[in-house]
Amino acid sequence: MRRSSLKLLTPANQRGIALLLALGVITVLLTTALEFYRQVRVGLAIAGVSRDRHLTREMAASGAHAAMAILLKDRSETETDTLFEEWADPEVLQNAATELGFEQGKLEIFIEDELGRIQVNALVKPPNGNDFNPGQLHVWERYLDRLISDLKSLEVDPPLEFPEETTANTIVNTVKDWLDFGDDDNVSGLTGAEKEYYLEQEQPYTPANGAMVDLRELLLIKGITEELYYGHQDLGGMLHAMTVHGVDIQQSNLTYTGKININTASLAVLRALLPEGFSDLAEVIDAFRKPEENGENANNLASADWLKNVPGAGDVRIDPKLITYKSDVFRIQAVASMDEMRATVTAIVQRYQESETGQFRCRILRWMYQ
């Protein structure tokens, strides 16, 4: 037995064991190397994604600042704001994006006049905000009447359904109670809602009882459905027609004049501005304000009485407290894309003039990345 054991430890057998050990070590090392290689590749991919994300965000931010430069140039040249100026010209905006010189990716810039919208916070009178602002109330009622009617008449399957009490009157009452500074039993009409109503919800919350700072607050208000807020299909909702911006400083008090730029207001807002019986003129007035095919417009929109020159609108009278012909608050959207990476900057900016230098600047009111 002792001799056979010795035979197993011959030089040949020893070399075989060494070979097996070497193969085992090589296998371990190869597995480790492959895992290290995989981790390196994952790390590089993550780094690449992080790099592209950072780059697209910087591209979008650059586009937003380029838009501000266009707005400042416009303000130095004219006091009125219309849809046939450079800030509203898609070709000018695209050229500005191209001139930034990004070799990779794509950049798009859009500018919209924020004061072409209905100012939500102007629905109540300043400074205490406990009563309706009559002129604004009529604008809201006309806008909501048309919006609710259009939504109900949409031919969709299944049809859109609204509570029976969904009317312009019920909505303005609940919005007024959300905005007003009182939080007592003085509920607006029969359909308003104060704190007690919201505290009784499945997930209780309290109303703002003050100015809105984010338009999405509308979705928290009694009676305002997602369809009213977002719209449906090609029909835009309150999201596209209203704004929480437009604050003005008067004798050290913050207020909302509610003045809408009639030169830039959307068709839906324009209809709401027109007095009863004249809403059918909205399309004609809208065409009068827009650039022709050559990008120009022969109509003088700087004049405060240009509405009289619109065919058929000679008798239209809009309360001067409701409209303006210029704006200093704008919505900028810059969209950057690279391969599958996409970044969007949405900025609300306000143009103002420095008292010391007289130069125009842009104050950023809101800056959002997506």
Per-residue H/E/C for the chain: CHHHHHHHCCHHHHHHHHHHHHHHHHHHHHHHHHHHHHHHHHHHHHHHHHHHHHHHHHHHHHHHHHHHHHHHHHHHHCCCCCCCCHHHCHHHHHHHHHHCCCCCCEEEEEEEEHHHCEEHHHHECCCCCCCECHHHHHHHHHHHHHHHHHHHCCCCCCCCCCCCCCCHHHHHHHHHHHHCCCCCCCCCCCCCCCHHHHHCCCCCCCCCCCCCCCHHHHHHCCCCCHHHHHEECCEECHHHCEECCCEEEECCEEEECCCEECCCCCHHHHHHHCCCCCHHHHHHHHHHHCCCCCCCCCCCCCCCCHHHHCCCCCCCCCCCCCEECCCCEEEEEEEEEECCEEEEEEEEEEEEECCCCCCEEEEEEEEEEC
For residues 91 and 185, state if they share a domain: no
For residues 65 and 132, state if they share a domain: no
**How many CA atoms does the CB half-sphere of 349 hold within 13 Å?**
23
- Pairwise CA distance, residues 70 & 351, whole Å: 11
For residues 50 and 197, state if they share a domain: no
Examine the fold and report which residue of 285, 306, 322 is the final residue of a domain before the chain moves on: 322
> What is the domain-level CATH number for residue 159?
1.10.40.60
Examine the fold and report which residue of 322, 338, 353 is the final residue of a domain before the chain moves on: 322
Tell me if 3 is assigned to some domain: no
- Pairwise CA distance, residues 191 & 3, whole Å: 107
Would you tell me how many other CB atoms lie within 10 Å of the CB of residue 10? Answer: 10
Measured at the CA of 84, the angle between CA 231 and CA 142, to 5 degrees, comes to 35
Tell me if 240 is assigned to some domain: yes
- Pairwise CA distance, residues 116 & 241, whole Å: 8
pLDDT at site 294: 62
Strands 329-338 and 253-256: unpaired
Tell me if 206 is assigned to some domain: yes
Q: Which of 266, 255, 309 has the alpha carbon at shortest distance from 126?
A: 255
Tell me if 12 is assigned to some domain: no
Measured at the CA of 312, the angle between CA 309 and CA 318, to 5 degrees, comes to 70
pLDDT at site 1: 46
Tell me if 244 is assigned to some domain: yes
Place of tokens 């104060």: 194
Confidence (pTM): 0.82
pLDDT at site 15: 66
Q: Which domain holds residue 150?
A: 117-322
- The CA-atom distances, in angstroms, between 141 and each of 145, 168, 269 are 6, 5, 11
For residues 312 and 332, state if they share a domain: no
Tell me if 20 is assigned to some domain: no
For residues 342 and 254, state if they share a domain: no
- Pairwise CA distance, residues 274 & 254, whole Å: 28
The total number of structural domains in the chain stands at 2
Q: What is the greatest pairwise CA distance in the chain?
A: 126
> What is the domain-level CATH number for residue 100?
3.30.1300.30
pLDDT at site 218: 97
pLDDT at site 6: 46
- Pairwise CA distance, residues 116 & 113, whole Å: 5
Tell me if 18 is assigned to some domain: no
Residue 107: strand pairing partners: 336
Tell me if 25 is assigned to some domain: no
Are 88 and 289 in contact, with CB atoms under 8 Å apart? no
For residues 148 and 260, state if they share a domain: yes
- Pairwise CA distance, residues 239 & 76, whole Å: 31
For residues 161 and 225, state if they share a domain: yes
For residues 169 and 202, state if they share a domain: yes
Contacts of 126 (CB under 8 A, 6+ apart): 253, 254, 255, 256
For residues 235 and 162, state if they share a domain: yes
For residues 306 and 333, state if they share a domain: no
Report mean pLDDT in 10-residue bins for the chain, 370 residues.
Answer: 51 67 71 66 58 86 95 92 91 94 90 97 82 94 95 87 86 92 61 84 90 95 94 93 85 78 95 92 91 68 83 90 94 92 94 91 93
Contacts of 104 (CB under 8 A, 6+ apart): 55, 338
For residues 73 and 127, state if they share a domain: no
For residues 227 and 335, state if they share a domain: no
